Amino acid sequence: MDPGYTVTSVIRRIIMDLKTKIAWVCSYITTIAWIIIICSCILYVFGIPHATANDKIFNKCKACHSFEKNKLGPHLQGIVGRQVGSVEGYKYSKALLNRQSLRWTEDNLRAWLTKPKSFIPKTKMIFPGIKKKAELDQLIEYLKTK
């Protein structure tokens, strides 16, 4: 050790260096936190679609349906008022094709979504149905907007 340095002065120097580094790290973390907060706010307001309660009720349907394209089930874009079994490019069951004279009115959708196999026996739709009236009402209202 250099004769001009004492143990106390070395410890003080180390503590001052640590304080400087800690202050820099805290400043850096604070800056990063503010950037994250600002970006999150911008994305929330301008860039990310907000999930509504109605979007969440559609989660029960998402495994087989979408609004853009056919999946395991036909797309549901414009389903309310549409003729049963009429989506082009989708292979319907014979049971559904035999009911093409029907339209997907609110009443028919309600019967179908409550218990599909009771409304159209021998359909290939495996969904058991929605039992809660409030959920069913919410889903039908949501489908009317799409």
Structure tokens given for 108: 């028919």
Question: What tokens were used for 116?
Answer: 């599909």
Q: What is the pTM of this model?
A: 0.61
Q: How far apart are CA 131 and CA 113, in angstroms?
A: 9
DSSP 42-103: HIIIIISPPPPHHHHHTHHHHTT--SSS-SSS---TT-TTPBTT--TT----HHHHTTTT-B
pLDDT (tens digit, 0 to 9) for every residue of the chain, 146 residues total? 556 678 888 888 888 888 888 888 888 888 888 888 887 777 777 766 555 656 777 888 888 898 899 999 999 999 999 999 999 999 999 998 999 899 999 999 999 999 999 999 988 888 888 889 988 898 898 898 88
